[in-house]
Structure 1
C-alpha cells in the first residue's frame, strides 16, 4: 500500500468518521488500559486509510480508454501500440481500473472475463484472484523518454559528439592475421570477426561463407567509441591456429568428397534409369517389328492363296471350255478334284526322299540359332550359309573324293566363314562330320555318308539363304 498524503481537511474528516464508530468498539482511555486500546484503534485507522486511498485513486485517472472499441489501457505506451495496430486515435482518461485477474495455478494475469474463459478452456484452470487494487496506480500522461538518454554518461561536462563517434571495433589480432594470410581482405576479416563475436577462426570463416554476397561485406565495420567491444575469447597460439586451419581444410575436403559421392550416385541412378528406358524402347521396337513381319507374312500367304485359287479356277474354266468344244460331257467334279491330288503326292515322294525328321528339325534349329546369335551381322551369316551349302554340294556330287570330306579346323578361311560362328561346326556334325586327330580335322567317313541327310541339309540351307523371314521368329 503506497503512502498517501492527507491535508488538514482530510484529517478533520477522518476524526469525524472516527467519532461515528460504534461505541462498543472503543475501549475507555484509562491509564491502566491506555496501551490496550491502541491495537484495535490502529486497525480501524488502517481500514479507514485504505478506504480513503481507494476513493482518492478513484478520483484520479487510472487508465486510458479507447473511444472506438472501449479497450482499457494501463499506460501511454500501450495506447500508442493499440493505435498502431488498430488505427484508433480517440483515447480518454478513465477512472475505471484495468482488471488484473491472476490464475492461482499458473499465475497468469488476465485483463477481462473473456481472457479468463479462454485461459480456462485452454488449461482447465478455474480459480482466479482479483489483484486489481494491488496494482492500480494513477496513469502518467507524459510521453516515454528516449532510451538512448539513459545511456548518456553522468558527466555533463563531456561533449555530446563523443557518444556518437564511430570507430573500428576491436577484434582478435591473431585470428585477423590468420584470416589475412588465408587471402581474406582486412575489412572482410574484421567484419567477420566482429559479427561472429571473435569466437574462433572457424566461426569467422563460416560467417564469410554465409555473407559473401552481402553488398557491404568488404566495408570496414564501425561501432560507437564507448561500446568498448573487445575480443570475446583469448587469442589462440600459432599451433592452435594451424590446427584449426587444418581442421577447416579437412572438413571442407570431406564435405566435397561426400558431395562428389552423392553426385556420382545420382549419375549412376540416372544412367541405370536411361539404360532401362533404352532397353524397354528397344524391346518394344523389336516386338512391333516382329508383329509387322508376321502381319506381312500372313498377308503374303493370303495373297498367294487367292492367286493360286484364281489360277485354278481359270484352268478349270479353260478345261471345261475345251471339253465343250470337243463335244465331251462335262467332267465329274469329284473326279476332277481327286485327279490332281494324286500327281502332287507322287511328286512330293519323288522330290523329298525319305529322311529322318528329327535330324532335319535339329539342322533347322541349329541354323536358326546361328542367325539369332549373329543377327547384327547379316552378311556374315549369309556367307556362312553359302559356305556350308558349298560343302554339302561337294559331298553330294563327289562322295568318293576325300578332300571334300576332310576339313582342317585351323584353316583360316574355314574359321572366318564357319568355324568362328557359333553353330557352324555343330551343323556339320549333324550332317555326319566327326572330329579326328585330336580335334584338328572334321572328317566324314565314306561309309557314313547319308544322301538323305545331305539333301535335307542342302534344302534347309537354301531356305535359310532365300527366305528373308528365316530365323526371325
Structure 2
C-alpha cells in the first residue's frame, strides 16, 4: 500500500506532506522521518467546521469551545504522500486550495463583530483577529486569544481567511500547557501595552520638539523686537542732538543779529568777520574798571543752567526738579510764617529723588536763603531771613527755565 503520511520516528507525529515535516523539524529539531500507510485524521467540527487531525486535538477543541460533534472525513482528504520538495513561496493554504474544487466560491467567514473590534483594539490586525475567531468557533475573546497564542508562528497568520462552502484545513500546532498558555497571553498583553506606551512616548517627543521650536521662534521674535527698539532709541537720540544743534545755531544767529542791531543804533559800522578781538592792552585797561558783583537772580540762573547741563541726558528729570524747587519757593513765599514750609529734611526719599540727587539742586535753595542745620540733616530758612524779592526772583527764574525750550542749551 502506498504511503499516505510521514511519521516522525522521534515523537510518532503523523504529517501530511514534506513541508509539514520540515516545519516540524524546525520546531522540534527532530530529523528521523519515514513514510507511513497510516493516514492523518481529519475530524471536522460540525458546529464551526474546525478540522482536527488527532483525537487529542479534538478533545482540546471540545474543552475550549464545548463542541462535541465531529465528522470523520479522513478518507475524503487522504491521498498518496508526495516526497518532492515543496515549491518556494508555497503555503499551507495553497496546498489546501489545490485540493478544493476550482469552481467553488471562496468567502470570508462570518465572525462576531463585537469580539473582532475588541481584538483589533488590543493591537491585532483584522486578518489575524478574523482568522482566530473563525478557527476558535467564535467562542469568545479568551478562546480567540488562545488560538492566536497557539498559531502565532503560522506563516499565514496575518492573511484574511477564505473558506469554501464545506471546510478549511489548518496545519496543527503543538498544544501548550495551561501555564504556558497563560504566559503567552500575558506576553501578548504586555506587548500590546508596550506598543501603546511607545506610541505615547513618540507623540510626547513630537510635542516637545514642537514646543522647543515655538520657544525658539518666540526668542528670535523678541530679539528682533529689542533690536528694533534699540535702533529706534538711537534714531530718536540722533534726532534730538540734531534738533539741539539747530537750536544752538538759531540762538547764535539771534545773538549776532542783536549785536548787529545794537551797533547800528549806536552808529557804529558793521563788524567785519575778519576783525580780531580787542588787544590785551584794551583788556588790561578794562580790568581797572570796577567789576559789578553778580546779583542773586544771575546766581540762580547760572545754578539752574549748570543743573540742566550736568543732567542734559535726562530732560524729564531736570524738568521735575525745576517744578519741585518752584513748589518749595512758592510755599515759602505764600506762607512765610509756616515753619513746615521753611524746613526740608535732606534724607527724605522724595526730596533726594527729585532734587537732592541732582548736582545744583541744594545750591539753588542755599542761594534762596536756606541753611543746613543739625549736622546737615535739614535745610532751614529762618523767618528773619525770608526775602520776598529773592523768592520772587527765584520763582521767575524757575518759571523761565521750565517754559523756555532753549534754556541752558548754550
Q: TM-score range by the shorter chain?
A: 0.3 to 0.5
Higher relative helix content: 1
**TM-score scaled by structure 2?**
0.42
